Amino acid sequence: MNRFLSGIAAVATVVSLSAFSTPALADITIGVTIPTTGPGAALGIPLKNSIELWPEEIGGEKVKVILLDDAGDPSIATTNARRFANDDKVDVIMGSALTPAAIGAAGVAAEVGVPHFAISPVPPPVAKGKWTFVLPQYSSVLAKAMFSRMQKDGIKRVSFIGFADSYGQQWVDELKNTGKEYGLEVVSDERYARADTSVSGQVLKALAAKPDAVFIGASGTGAALPQIGVRERGFKGPVYVVSGAVTFEFLRIAGKAVENTVFSSGPIMVAEDQPDDSPTKAEGLAYLKAYEGKFGPNTRTQFGSHVWDAMVILNKAVPVALKTAKPGTNEFRAALRDAIESSGPYNATHGVFEFTPDDHYGLDERGAVLLTAKDGKFQLLK
């Protein structure tokens, strides 16, 4: 573990990992709020592990990281972000791994004027703010790749089963709106809570609509519930699953039920299979060498590499901002925001980021690939 990320102090449900040494005046301070416990831990733990791979300096300035557990709760994420801004005087806020919590952190960042990297997809009204930059592919980038495949597969009638929150909503919105361009009709829209342990009712209603395919809009291991459920009920048609479920743990839990399922994904999950001239291959292989070298084979996730991508961006943007002001000041935070918008393109693990003042998503079709599952492994679908 890097020296800047050490020690554990627990307060109620919040866990803080931070350096106990006295920081230099010009330390670049990054506050990270992610779920290392609770239903989002499968997303948060790979992020925490990936933060351990961060460099100790950026642009010649030391890096200080403050990491808090939000358990996936939007109110805790908001409280954490407010602490970062008001007490810790951070230069950057990152988080959270669940969309509702990320929206809470974004609100604080906009209020106090701190650059914020959302590490879960957030809707356009949030991303249109001045301070939030979105690291995951927005749903439309991944959805278009998925819907094009559905069209190719002859799919017309689709049953949706997804989370009953803003994450699930953005996927069903894409299916209902963008999906029309590909001849797709939503014949059933079923939702469930992230903490639910059964989706039998939702599965029965979804299949009763006699769909050509089932589309699952959920993340982490929770997405395995409808995946298993539709196969147990004898559904033989195609199943399409969003990027948030692309983990080896999902494959393990879903077992044979996931065979031949189609996933939309960032390129990091199949970095080795990319053509040598792919702009995302070099950074993807660098991340995999560092992460799986430390945590073991097949431990990669899409989620962990988002914070690696954040560092790819900061490594280019921070030196630009340092020409204007020192870390720890409002002037530096504003200069860093401007530098993030103007210092691209950033060839990262998930795509090529090109932010502008009007576009804080930054990714195009280079950030999306299609995968399938075979024999407990992900394979690039060509």
For residues 133 and 144, membership in a common domain is answered with: no
Whether residues 256 and 313 share a domain: the answer is no
253 shares a domain with 173: yes
Tell me: pLDDT of 66 over 50.
yes
107 and 154 belong to one structural domain: no
Please report whether residue 279 resides in a domain: no
Domain boundary, last residue among 236, 265, 294: 265
Say whether pLDDT at 10 is over 50. no
To 5 degrees, how large is the angle CA 156–CA 161–CA 164? 135
Tens of pLDDT along 221-249? 889 999 999 999 999 999 999 988 888 88
The DSSP call for residue 280 is T
92/112 Cα distance (integer angstroms): 11
Residues 37 and 125 in one domain: yes
Q: Are 87 and 128 in the same domain?
A: yes
Is residue 376 a part of any domain in this protein? no
What local confidence, expressed as pLDDT, does residue 24 receive?
43
Residues 232 and 154 in one domain: yes
pTM: 0.82
* Peptide bond preceding 275 in cis form (omega within 30 of 0): no
Read off the pLDDT of residues 250-281 as tens digits, 9 standing for 90 and up.
Answer: 999 999 999 889 999 999 999 998 889 999 99
| The pLDDT value given to residue 20 | 35
Pick the closest to residue 244 from 117, 121, 116, 352 (CA basis).
121
Taking residues 93-97, what's their average pLDDT?
Answer: 95
Burial class (CB in 10 A: 0-12, 13-18, 19+), 142: buried
Compute the mean pLDDT over every residue in the chain, rounded to the nearest whole number: 91
364-377 confidence digits (pLDDT tens): 989 999 999 988 88
Read off the pLDDT band of 23 (50, 70, 90). very low
3-state secondary structure of 73: coil
CA distance readout (Å), 43 to 30, 40, 219, 292 = 19, 5, 9, 16
The boundaries of the domain holding residue 260 are 139-265
Instruction: Express as a percent the part of the chain with pLDDT over 70.
Output: 93
CA angle, 350 as apex, 330 and 49 as ends, to 5°? 70
Tokens read off for 98: 């669940």
Query: How much is the pLDDT for 111?
Result: 97
In order of 7, 71, 351, the CA distances from 308 in angstroms are: 22, 21, 12
Note whether residue 15 is domain-resident.
yes
The answer to whether 348 and 313 are in contact (CB under 8 A) is: yes
Q: Is 178 found in the same domain as 129?
A: no
At CB < 8 A and 24+ separation, what contacts does 108-114 make?
108/78, 108/81, 108/82, 108/84, 109/81, 109/85, 112/85, 112/86, 113/330, 113/333, 113/334, 114/84, 114/85, 114/90, 114/333
pLDDT at 182: 97
d(CA 380, CA 366): 14
pLDDT at 12 over 60: no
Q: What is the mean pLDDT of residues 70-99?
A: 96
CATH number where 144 lies: 3.40.50.2300
Residues 246 and 298 in one domain: no
Tell me which DSSP letter residue 98 carries: S
Number of domains comprising the chain: 2
Buried b (16+ CB within 10 A) or exposed e, 164-195: ebbbbbbbbbbbeebbeebebebbbbbbbebe
> Do 210 and 297 lie in a common domain?
no
Give the residue from 212, 231, 265 where a domain finishes.
265
Of 213, 231, 265, the position where a domain reaches its end is 265
Domain-located, residue 241: yes
| Better-predicted residue by pLDDT, 100 or 26 | 100
Domain match, 67 and 99 both: yes
176 inside domain: yes
* Domain-located, residue 381: no
Say if CB 174 and CB 142 are below 8 A apart: no
Q: Do 127 and 146 fall within a single domain?
A: no
